[in-house]
Amino acid sequence: AQRVTQPEKLLSVFKGAPVELKCNYSYSGSPELFWYVQYSRQRLQLLLRHISRESIKGFTADLNKGETSFHLKKPFAQEEDSAMYYCALGFSSASKIIFGSGTRLSIRP
Amino acid sequence: DTGVSQDPRHKITKRGQNVTFRCDPISEHNRLYWYRQTLGQGPEFLTYFQNEAQLEKSRLLSDRFSAERPKGSFSTLEIQRTEQGDSAMYLCASSPDPGTHNEKLFFGSGTQLSVL
Protein backbone atom coordinates (compact mmCIF):
# COMPACT_ATOMS: atom_id res chain seq x y z
CA ALA A 1 0.00 0.00 0.00
CA GLN A 2 1.11 3.54 -0.68
CA ARG A 3 2.00 5.21 2.56
CA VAL A 4 3.99 8.02 4.15
CA THR A 5 5.30 7.44 7.66
CA GLN A 6 6.54 10.11 10.02
CA PRO A 7 7.52 8.24 13.18
CA GLU A 8 7.87 11.24 15.47
CA LYS A 9 4.78 13.13 16.62
CA LEU A 10 6.89 15.69 18.44
CA LEU A 11 10.50 16.74 18.15
CA SER A 12 11.90 19.23 20.60
CA VAL A 13 15.41 20.67 20.21
CA PHE A 14 17.34 23.64 21.50
CA LYS A 15 17.98 26.68 19.35
CA GLY A 16 21.21 26.21 17.43
CA ALA A 17 21.05 22.41 17.58
CA PRO A 18 20.75 20.27 14.44
CA VAL A 19 17.32 19.07 13.37
CA GLU A 20 16.29 15.94 11.52
CA LEU A 21 12.66 15.11 10.83
CA LYS A 22 12.20 11.59 9.58
CA CYS A 23 10.03 10.52 6.67
CA ASN A 24 9.71 7.10 5.07
CA TYR A 25 7.49 6.18 2.17
CA SER A 26 6.06 3.07 0.58
CA TYR A 27 5.60 3.20 -3.20
CA SER A 28 6.84 0.90 -5.93
CA GLY A 29 6.92 3.51 -8.69
CA SER A 30 9.00 6.67 -9.13
CA PRO A 31 8.11 8.86 -6.16
CA GLU A 32 8.04 12.61 -5.87
CA LEU A 33 8.61 13.75 -2.31
CA PHE A 34 7.69 17.02 -0.66
CA TRP A 35 7.86 18.70 2.71
CA TYR A 36 4.98 20.98 3.66
CA VAL A 37 4.97 23.21 6.72
CA GLN A 38 2.22 24.83 8.75
CA TYR A 39 3.19 27.70 11.02
CA SER A 40 0.86 28.76 13.81
CA ARG A 41 -2.38 30.26 12.42
CA GLN A 42 -1.16 29.98 8.83
CA ARG A 43 -2.08 27.80 5.91
CA LEU A 44 -0.28 24.66 4.95
CA GLN A 45 2.46 25.60 2.47
CA LEU A 46 5.21 23.95 0.49
CA LEU A 47 8.65 24.04 2.07
CA LEU A 48 10.63 22.08 -0.50
CA ARG A 49 10.50 19.20 -2.96
CA HIS A 50 13.15 16.74 -3.99
CA ILE A 51 13.13 17.41 -7.74
CA SER A 52 14.18 21.01 -7.11
CA ARG A 53 17.19 20.01 -5.00
CA GLU A 54 16.87 23.31 -3.19
CA SER A 55 17.54 24.59 0.28
CA ILE A 56 14.74 26.65 1.79
CA LYS A 57 15.19 28.49 5.09
CA GLY A 58 18.30 26.39 5.67
CA PHE A 59 16.40 23.10 5.31
CA THR A 60 17.46 20.35 2.94
CA ALA A 61 16.14 16.88 2.18
CA ASP A 62 17.65 14.10 0.12
CA LEU A 63 15.64 11.35 -1.48
CA ASN A 64 17.14 7.95 -0.63
CA LYS A 65 15.39 5.40 -2.80
CA GLY A 66 17.30 2.50 -1.24
CA GLU A 67 16.01 3.34 2.21
CA THR A 68 12.75 4.85 0.88
CA SER A 69 13.37 7.92 2.98
CA PHE A 70 13.21 11.69 2.59
CA HIS A 71 14.42 13.09 5.90
CA LEU A 72 14.36 16.84 6.46
CA LYS A 73 17.48 18.38 7.95
CA LYS A 74 18.74 21.69 9.19
CA PRO A 75 22.15 22.17 10.81
CA PHE A 76 21.20 24.96 13.22
CA ALA A 77 17.61 25.28 14.41
CA GLN A 78 16.01 28.69 14.87
CA GLU A 79 13.02 29.57 17.01
CA GLU A 80 10.98 30.54 13.94
CA ASP A 81 11.28 26.93 12.71
CA SER A 82 8.71 25.83 15.29
CA ALA A 83 5.79 24.47 13.26
CA MET A 84 4.04 21.33 12.04
CA TYR A 85 5.91 19.56 9.26
CA TYR A 86 4.28 17.12 6.85
CA CYS A 87 6.03 14.84 4.44
CA ALA A 88 4.08 14.19 1.25
CA LEU A 89 4.29 11.70 -1.61
CA GLY A 90 3.31 12.33 -5.21
CA PHE A 91 3.00 9.53 -7.71
CA SER A 92 4.70 9.06 -11.03
CA SER A 93 1.44 9.58 -12.89
CA ALA A 94 1.19 13.10 -11.45
CA SER A 95 -2.10 12.26 -9.79
CA LYS A 96 -2.95 12.55 -6.10
CA ILE A 97 -0.59 13.57 -3.33
CA ILE A 98 -0.77 11.86 0.05
CA PHE A 99 0.54 13.12 3.39
CA GLY A 100 2.11 11.70 6.50
CA SER A 101 0.68 12.31 9.94
CA GLY A 102 3.07 15.16 10.66
CA THR A 103 5.77 16.06 13.18
CA ARG A 104 5.50 19.01 15.49
CA LEU A 105 8.87 20.71 15.75
CA SER A 106 9.42 22.77 18.85
CA ILE A 107 12.55 24.88 19.18
CA ARG A 108 13.49 25.75 22.73
CA PRO A 109 15.35 29.01 23.37
CA ASP B 1 -5.30 37.06 -6.23
CA THR B 2 -5.98 36.18 -2.62
CA GLY B 3 -5.20 32.52 -2.98
CA VAL B 4 -7.48 29.55 -2.42
CA SER B 5 -10.71 30.58 -0.72
CA GLN B 6 -12.99 28.29 1.28
CA ASP B 7 -16.45 28.99 2.60
CA PRO B 8 -17.67 28.75 5.29
CA ARG B 9 -14.77 28.86 7.74
CA HIS B 10 -16.81 27.05 10.37
CA LYS B 11 -19.93 24.91 10.17
CA ILE B 12 -21.86 23.42 13.09
CA THR B 13 -24.62 21.01 12.20
CA LYS B 14 -26.76 18.35 13.77
CA ARG B 15 -26.28 14.70 13.01
CA GLY B 16 -28.30 13.67 9.98
CA GLN B 17 -28.24 17.06 8.27
CA ASN B 18 -26.64 17.73 4.90
CA VAL B 19 -23.81 20.24 4.53
CA THR B 20 -22.08 21.77 1.54
CA PHE B 21 -18.71 23.47 1.39
CA ARG B 22 -17.32 25.64 -1.35
CA CYS B 23 -13.77 26.08 -2.63
CA ASP B 24 -12.57 28.77 -5.02
CA PRO B 25 -9.13 27.84 -6.35
CA ILE B 26 -6.48 30.18 -7.66
CA SER B 27 -7.62 31.25 -11.10
CA GLU B 28 -6.07 29.29 -13.96
CA HIS B 29 -5.24 26.35 -11.69
CA ASN B 30 -6.42 23.21 -13.42
CA ARG B 31 -6.09 20.87 -10.47
CA LEU B 32 -8.28 20.98 -7.37
CA TYR B 33 -7.97 18.66 -4.38
CA TRP B 34 -10.08 17.98 -1.31
CA TYR B 35 -8.54 16.68 1.89
CA ARG B 36 -9.87 15.97 5.37
CA GLN B 37 -7.82 16.49 8.52
CA THR B 38 -8.58 15.41 12.05
CA LEU B 39 -6.69 16.36 15.18
CA GLY B 40 -3.21 14.87 15.28
CA GLN B 41 -3.36 13.56 11.75
CA GLY B 42 -2.10 14.75 8.40
CA PRO B 43 -4.36 15.72 5.53
CA GLU B 44 -6.23 12.66 4.24
CA PHE B 45 -6.84 12.60 0.49
CA LEU B 46 -10.51 12.61 -0.51
CA THR B 47 -10.69 13.42 -4.22
CA TYR B 48 -9.23 15.56 -6.98
CA PHE B 49 -10.26 17.22 -10.23
CA GLN B 50 -8.50 18.07 -13.45
CA ASN B 51 -10.63 20.95 -14.73
CA GLU B 52 -14.21 19.66 -14.39
CA ALA B 53 -13.31 15.97 -14.45
CA GLN B 54 -13.17 14.11 -11.15
CA LEU B 55 -10.18 11.82 -11.69
CA GLU B 56 -9.99 9.93 -8.42
CA LYS B 57 -12.02 9.44 -5.28
CA SER B 58 -10.64 7.81 -2.17
CA ARG B 59 -11.90 4.27 -1.62
CA LEU B 60 -12.29 5.16 2.03
CA LEU B 61 -14.83 7.81 1.14
CA SER B 62 -18.42 7.01 1.97
CA ASP B 63 -21.15 7.34 -0.65
CA ARG B 64 -22.50 10.14 1.52
CA PHE B 65 -19.69 12.34 0.20
CA SER B 66 -19.90 13.91 -3.24
CA ALA B 67 -17.85 16.60 -4.91
CA GLU B 68 -18.38 18.60 -8.07
CA ARG B 69 -16.51 21.13 -10.14
CA PRO B 70 -19.11 21.92 -12.79
CA LYS B 71 -17.31 24.55 -14.82
CA GLY B 72 -13.76 23.73 -13.94
CA SER B 73 -13.54 26.68 -11.58
CA PHE B 74 -15.01 26.49 -8.05
CA SER B 75 -15.82 23.19 -6.40
CA THR B 76 -18.36 22.02 -3.85
CA LEU B 77 -18.13 19.16 -1.38
CA GLU B 78 -21.40 17.85 -0.02
CA ILE B 79 -21.84 15.50 2.90
CA GLN B 80 -25.26 13.93 3.24
CA ARG B 81 -26.72 12.61 6.50
CA THR B 82 -23.75 13.81 8.54
CA GLU B 83 -22.37 11.67 11.34
CA GLN B 84 -20.29 12.67 14.32
CA GLY B 85 -17.30 10.97 12.72
CA ASP B 86 -17.45 13.50 9.89
CA SER B 87 -16.28 16.23 12.27
CA ALA B 88 -12.97 17.44 10.85
CA MET B 89 -11.20 20.23 8.99
CA TYR B 90 -11.92 20.02 5.27
CA LEU B 91 -9.09 21.43 3.19
CA CYS B 92 -9.08 22.44 -0.42
CA ALA B 93 -5.94 22.89 -2.49
CA SER B 94 -5.25 23.84 -6.07
CA SER B 95 -2.27 23.62 -8.39
CA PRO B 96 -1.32 24.36 -11.96
CA ASP B 97 -1.50 21.57 -14.50
CA PRO B 98 1.21 19.17 -13.29
CA GLY B 99 2.49 18.04 -16.65
CA THR B 100 5.03 15.31 -16.00
CA HIS B 101 5.73 16.29 -12.38
CA ASN B 102 3.46 17.02 -9.48
CA GLU B 103 3.15 20.72 -8.87
CA LYS B 104 3.10 22.70 -5.64
CA LEU B 105 -0.23 22.63 -3.83
CA PHE B 106 -1.74 25.90 -2.64
CA PHE B 107 -4.02 25.32 0.32
CA GLY B 108 -7.03 27.17 1.58
CA SER B 109 -7.67 27.91 5.23
CA GLY B 110 -10.16 25.07 5.47
CA THR B 111 -13.71 24.58 6.69
CA GLN B 112 -14.02 23.27 10.24
CA LEU B 113 -17.06 20.99 10.51
CA SER B 114 -18.55 20.07 13.86
CA VAL B 115 -21.36 17.51 13.90
CA LEU B 116 -23.34 17.49 17.14
- Which pLDDT tens digit goes with each residue over A15-31? 999 999 999 999 988 88
Give, for B93, the enclosing helix (H) or strand (E). strand B88-95
Mean pLDDT across the stretch A76-105? 92
Q: Is B47 helix (H, G, I), strand (E, B) or coil?
A: strand
Contacts of B101 (CB under 8 A, 6+ apart): A32, A51, A90, A94
Chain B nearest-CA distance from A18, in A, is: 24
Residue B17: is its pLDDT beyond 70? yes
CB-nearest partner of B101 from A32, A86, A100: A32
Closest to A25 measured CA to CA, from A38, A34, A16: A34
Task: Report d(CA B94, CA B97) in Å as an integer.
Answer: 10
CB B97 within 8 A of CB B54: no
CB-nearest partner of B45 from A49, A51, A96: A96
pLDDT, residue B1, reads: 53
B45/A98 touch (CB, cutoff 8 Å), yes or no: yes
pLDDT, residue B113, reads: 98
- Which pLDDT tens digit goes with each residue over A51-77? 887 888 999 998 999 999 999 999 999
Which residues on chain B are in Cβ contact (under 8 Å) with A91? 102
Amino acid at A80: E
Which residues on chain A are in Cβ contact (under 8 Å) with B43? 44, 86, 99
